[in-house]
Amino acid sequence: MKYIIILADGCSDYPIEKLGNKTPLMAANTPHIDTLCAKSRCGLLKTVPDDMPPGSEIANMAVLGYDVKEVYQGRGVLEAASMGVELKPDDLAMRCNLVCIDEEDKIKNHSAGHISTEEAHELIDFLNRKLEGNRSRFHPGVSYRHLFVVNGGSDQIVCTPPHDVPGTPFKHVMVKSRNLEGDATAELLNDTILQSQALLGDHPVNRKRVSEGKDPANSVWFWSPGYRPKMKTFKELYGKQGAVISAVDLIYGIGAYAGFNAIKVPGSTGLYDTNYEGKAQAAVEALKDNDLVYLHIEASDEAGHEGDADLKVRTLEYLDQRVVKYIAEETAKMDEPVAIAILPDHPTPCELRTHTHDPVPFMIYRPGVKGDAVSEYNEDAVANGSYGLLVGDEFIRHLLG
């Protein structure tokens, strides 16, 4: 048996009035997902403990069966692994977003209007030149997602993810120290945020973006700090060699620590315009050399963060027509049977524009195993599935049999 996990990031949601009080999963036309669902067994999965932040880093590690309380060290260290940034034991790595601060000094969005990678790299390189120091450095990533490393930094700080607080005055959610040990690091990070605003506001990249009606990337924002984690590979834990396909450094970072082969697909953007067909084809091809393929698609999460219900519905229909249809048809032709799981890592409700702790709907199709009574894949329907509510590593163990 081989395995594909189709991870539709943030796709679950709450009922939305403009969708007739349906969730996007209920409102979307997804005949191929539903056909597969009718042959699957379903349930709900609690991916994030209530006392931990509902971030993608925790949720995706949980989907893969890792004990998140044991291995979680923040998002930055995972992205560092993906980017090939070697961390020393005392390096504090954290996610650095390029964000847009509006004229009222509020966080307008977490992505600087989904700035292009080319523009972002110019800004990050500029900041490295202007803020050059022996203890800290920016590392450019993809679009608005970057890395900041502080040598000798303390993790005794509290950082707020920018996607959790759109519309909030940025000074209300700057970095705070937990105790005296964290004071110097919090001060360094807050000073860097303020310096970035002074430097980026009039940068040619941002002047051009404003002239084109786009949001400027006029501030950096730090969150999810941590040190290098201690993780066993997926093969050590479960005896399977995996591969990962994504558009997001975070997911490739988890894959790096899990020992997965990283497969990059041209045209992968992390948005609704990603190369769905290319990712689906790469996933099927990867099954030749791997036991399990983790196919991560970010688009529905970004639509949730934008609060755009119609776009979220569209991303789910793209997933159905351009990914699930192909994978279901092609894997059915393979000599070795292929199990297919579909689920999000966490909900990203359009109403809230951020992640929540709610359990996520999942389905597992295993050739030769009779499905349960669920015929539609959505939050309410799968609650009646035969798996009930799973926690911890129960999902991955059921998938792997």
Rounded to the nearest integer, the mean pLDDT of the chain is 96
The pLDDT of residue 44 is 98
Contact assessment for residue 22 and residue 358, using Cβ atoms and an 8 Å cutoff: no
The CA-based angle 353-354-358, given to 5 degrees, is 120
Averaged pLDDT for residues 268-294: 96
The structure tokens listed for 303 are: 């639509």
Does the structure show a pLDDT above 70 at 302? Answer: yes
DSSP letter, residue 84? T
Averaged pLDDT for residues 364-372: 95
Domains in the chain, ordered, with CATH? Answer: 2-72+230-400 (3.40.720.10), 82-226 (no CATH)
Residues 7 and 340: their CA atoms lie apart, in Å, by 11
CA distances from 217 to 49, 131, 139, 201, 357 (A): 33, 17, 16, 8, 30
Averaged pLDDT for residues 196-211: 97
- 74 vs 306, residue with greater confidence: 306
The pLDDT of residue 249 is 85
Residues 148 and 224: their CA atoms lie apart, in Å, by 11
The structure tokens listed for 216 are: 């400027």
Range in 8-22, 78-92, 241-255, 308-322 the model is least confident about: 78-92
Q: What is the CA radius of gyration of the chain?
A: 21
The pLDDT of residue 132 is 80
Residue 211 CB burial class (10 angstroms; 0-12, 13-18, ≥19): exposed
Residues 59 and 54: their CA atoms lie apart, in Å, by 7
DSSP per-residue codes, 311-366? HHHHHHHHHIIIIIHHHHHHHTTSSS-EEEEEE-SS---TTTTS-----EEEEEE-
This prediction's pTM: 0.81
| φ, ψ (nearest 5 deg) of residue 277 | -65, -40
Averaged pLDDT for residues 212-230: 94
Question: 2-8 and 292-297 as β-strands: parallel, antiparallel, unpaired?
Answer: parallel
Each residue's pLDDT tens digit, 96-121: 999 999 999 999 999 999 999 999 99
The CA-based angle 161-252-32, given to 5 degrees, is 95
Each residue's pLDDT tens digit, 62-101: 999 999 999 988 888 988 988 889 899 899 999 999 999 9
Averaged pLDDT for residues 201-213: 97
Contact assessment for residue 37 and residue 325, using Cβ atoms and an 8 Å cutoff: no
Which H helix or E strand runs over 211? helix 204-211
Query: Residue 122 — very low, low, confident or very high, per pLDDT cuts 50/70/90?
Result: very high
Does the structure show a pLDDT above 70 at 134? Answer: no
Does the structure show a pLDDT above 80 at 160? Answer: yes
